[in-house]
Amino acid sequence: MAQSALSLEFPDGTIREFDAGTTGKDVAGSISKSLAKKSVAIALNGELMDLAEPIASSGKIEIITRTDDRAVELIRHDCAHVLAEAVQAIWPDTKVTIGPVIENGFYYDFDRAEPFTPEDLETIEKKMRQIIARNDPFTKQVWSRDDAKAHFEKMGESYKVELIDAIDADQNLNIYHQGEWHDLCLGPHGPSTGNVGSAFKLMSVAGAYWRGDSDNQMLSRIYGTAWADEKQLKNYLFMLEEAQKRDHRKLGREMDLFHFQEEGPGVVFWHAKGWKVFQGLTNYMRRRLDEHGYDEVNAPQILDKALWQTSGHWDWYRENMFTTVTEDDRQFAIKPMNCPGHVQIFKNGLRSYRELPIKMAEFGNVHRYEPSGALHGLMRVRGFTQDDAHVFCTSEQLEAECLRINDLILTTYSDFGFGDIVVKLSTRPEKRVGSEEGWDRAESIMQKVLDKIEADSDGRIRTEMNPGEGAFYGPKFEYVLRDAIGRDWQCGTTQVDFALPERFGAFYIDENSNKVEPVMVHRAICGSMERFIGILIEHFAGHFPLWLAPVQAVVATITTEAEEYGQKVVDTLKAAGMRVESDFRNEKINYKVREHSLAKVPVIIAIGAREAEEGTVSIRRLGSKHQTNMTLEEAVASLTEEAIAPDLKRKRDAS
């Protein structure tokens, strides 16, 4: 151990010397008494450390107070320990496992014969508040691995023993104490249980597998949220309420877009209005595909088992496939993916290198037998439509094609108002087909493309690696977008496939008359049209932009006298290409406005005697309490302009 003095650099640039063995608390105290009181931890070279820990090396130091963004991590971690103590105080035979910090809070997994009930949460919270009020300091002891193991064995904490077993033999372990209670823990922690404060709440109980493995025992997990102050907690709870309000399943019902029912778990009944949105989205995508040189095809839903054996799906994906046996004992599978079908189209006839790249697109209706617990509204279904395409190209063309696809994906997302994108590269999984050389080649090209995507984005696109998460036939890019309330959704994907063309014996004739295997790139932009619409519903909270809205305007009469003119308004708007409905019912205008506002119709056009006489319309926009009056001609002009899809607008403005 170095006995020399510590040299610590403060955020303002000043450097000061301290004796060896100085703790964070000492450093804070050397600045001011009040800082020593307010501090909860320090960060040494950016890494959080306990206040009471002797500072081991020189470096950049920051004193972390409760208001620091990083302090909330400690609060959550402290809170998880307080939760664990509370649970063991109430139910002493409960075993503890782990309790990490997560986004917005923390959880702790327990092994207990009886599951926790929502009422239990209240009891636990009460106990937690007592522990916090006790304000015991968190003190760290370093134990040898053997001592720790023996200790937890004696206590019967078998999960802790298992955790210790997984730690390197020569490593010492931290034991954090709070009063009588203690836990094996990496740390760091705040100064005392009082540091948790009062801005926390236990949220829910759920089952979770020990160590995240479905072969392991199911534990009882308690989720909690914790914040630096009450205001932050309140904001967070408010956000959750907001998210609930825009739940696409709720809006789908209220807006009459789609429904599900018991007989069809995971398959969508699209209602007329929902289908309009679906078609609006499909039409948009068709135009974009056309722009980018794709040809749309359509391959069969049901194909012989033999084909799926060749593709490898029968071996790797069978548990997810719907299969059927006919009277004559032939076994078929409903397609879970479109690629084998597209390879058949590629193979039909002899292909020349002159034709490449061939870009084959399909709005492919696929079915996958997803685990029942995975189903979630439109976000996870068993029958869905992929905006799928396969690019058959030479390996020389691969990089350029990936970049071209990237361009199409990013412009599509921005047309829907998604700007915050992460591109992840997933590499070879354990369960895979194809040679190691093939994987090496594919991954190195993908890595190069990924770097280029990031470099060309002016820092707008973030990139990440996802080791072992690739498809069984090749590495892939995953495009993750962030919606209006900050949730992430994986939508687009670009997957390089060196395996499938080989399996099906697909080839083209190169310039030397040789047979050459093409590279196949699978790609999707929306991923699933169903899911993408679900995301759009939540992103827009049901307030679709005019070009996507299933009903763009409702013409509502105030009195029956205005009906004739109202019909003229409807006809005029329809003739101009608008999706308009009329509401000439014998109801008050207030009633009509309320009803169509709840149905999230973007434009309500009220027609009374005055408008009929003047040839005007009174327009009320969704979300606004005001009306604007204008002539019918003006209304048609401004609404049709607004209703132009972004890609068409772009094309028009470019010419």
Partner RNA sequence: GCUGUUGUAGCUCAGGGGUAGAGCACGUCAUUGGUAAUGACGAGGUCGGUGGUUCAAUUCCACUCAACAGCACCA
> Per CB under 7 A, which of residues 107..126 are in contact with RNA?
115, 117
- Reading the block at residue 588, the tokens are 């008050």
> How many whole angstroms separate alpha carbon 528 and alpha carbon 509?
34
Q: Which stretch binds RNA (CB under 7 A): 56-64, 144-152, 229-237, 520-528?
A: 520-528
Which is closer to RNA, CB of 364 or CB of 518? 364
β-bridge mates for residue 352, sequence order: 509
Q: Does 639 bind RNA (CB under 7 A)?
A: no
Minimum CB distance to RNA smaller for 263 or for 327: 263
Interacting residues with RNA between 526 and 545 (CB under 7 A)? 527-528, 530-531
Residue 127 CA to residue 502 CA, distance in Å, equals 63
Integer Cα distance of 629 and 513 in angstroms: 70
**CA distance linking residue 431 with residue 425, whole number of Å:** 17
Would you call 292 exposed, middle or buried from its count of C-beta atoms within 10 A (0-12, 13-18, 19+)?
middle
Tell me which residues in 388-407 interact with RNA (CB under 7 A).
Answer: none
Window 423-462: contact mask with RNA (x via CB under 7 A) = ----------------------------------------
Q: Is 368 a catalytic residue?
A: yes
Instruction: State the minimum distance, in angstroms, from the CB of residue 127 to RNA.
Output: 21
Considering only CA atoms, which of 578, 536, 526 is closest in space to residue 553?
578
Cβ at position 92, least distance to RNA in Å: 21
Residues 548-567 that bind RNA (CB under 7 A): 557-561
**456 to 515, contacts with RNA by CB under 7 A?**
471, 478, 490-491, 493
Nearer to RNA among residue 273 and residue 620 (C-beta) = 620
As measured in angstroms, the least distance from the Cβ of 83 to RNA is 15
Report yes or no: 564 and 612 within 8 Å, Cβ to Cβ.
Answer: yes
User: Which among 476, 531, 596, 620 is annotated as catalytic?
Assistant: 476
Selected range binding RNA among 85-93, 145-153, 569-577, 597-605, rule: CB under 7 A:
597-605
Q: Are 278 and 270 in contact (CB under 8 A)?
A: yes
Binding-site member from 21, 300, 486, 623 for RNA (CB under 7 A): 623
Interacting span for RNA (CB under 7 A) from 12-20, 304-312, 455-463, 593-601: 593-601
Q: What is the DSSP string of 132-158?
A: HHHTPBEEEEEE-HHHHHHHHHHHT-H
* 221, 522, 531, 592: the active-site residue: 522
Give the nearer residue to RNA in terms of CB position, either 188 or 527.
527
- 16 phi and psi angles, rounded to 5 deg: -130, 155
Size of the site for RNA (CB under 7 A): 72
Q: Decide: is 204 part of the binding site for RNA (CB under 7 A).
A: yes
Contacts 24+ apart (CB under 8 A), 87-90: 87/112, 87/124, 87/222, 88/181, 89/127, 89/131, 89/181, 90/123, 90/124, 90/127
Q: Please report how close the Cβ of residue 197 comes to RNA at its closest, in angstroms.
A: 25
Of the pair 26, 561, the CB lying nearest RNA is at: 561
586 binds RNA (CB under 7 A): yes
The one among 14, 326, 348, 372 contacting RNA by CB under 7 A: 372
Residues 6 or more apart whose Cβ sits within 8 Å of residue 440: none
Site for RNA in 208-247 (CB under 7 A): 208-209, 212-214, 218, 220-221, 223
- If one counts every other C-beta atom within 10 angstroms of the C-beta of residue 45, the result is 12
Q: Binding RNA by CB under 7 A: which of 253, 286, 287, 292?
A: 253
Strand bridging mode 508-509 / 515-516: antiparallel
Which of 100, 207, 467, 486 touches RNA by CB under 7 A? 207
Query: Is 140 in contact with 187 (CB distance < 8 Å)?
Result: yes
* Exposed/middle/buried for residue 639 (C-beta within 10 Å: 0-12, 13-18, 19+): buried
CB of 373 to RNA, least distance (A): 2
Tell me which of 50, 109, 120, 388 is the catalytic residue: 388
Strand segments (E) across 161-308: 173-178, 181-184, 200-209, 218-226, 258-259, 269-270, 295-296, 302-304
Catalytic residue (choose from 50, 189, 273, 339) = 339
In angstroms, give the least distance from the CB of 639 to RNA.
16
DSSP letter at 376? B
Among 305, 313, 390, 620, binds RNA (CB under 7 A): 620
> Residues near 604 by Cβ (< 8 Å), separated by ≥ 6?
553, 554, 556, 592, 593, 596, 597, 619, 620, 621, 622
Nearer residue to RNA within complex by CB, 209 or 547 = 209
- Find the shortest distance in angstroms from Cβ 568 to RNA: 16
DSSP class per residue in 544-598: --TTT-SS-EEEEESSGGGHHHHHHHHHHHHHTT--EEEE--SS-HHHHHHHHHH
Looking only at residues 324 through 343 of this chain, which bind RNA when binding is defined by CB under 7 A? none
CB of 361 to RNA, least distance (A): 16
In the chain, the amino acid numbered 32 is: S
Question: Is 386 tagged catalytic?
Answer: yes
Q: Among positive and negative, which fits the CA dihedral 331, 334, 339, 343? A: positive
Q: Does 265 bind RNA (CB under 7 A)?
A: yes
339 noted as active-site residue:
yes
Question: Does the annotation count 185 as an active-site position?
Answer: no
Active site residues: 339, 368, 386, 388, 390, 476, 522
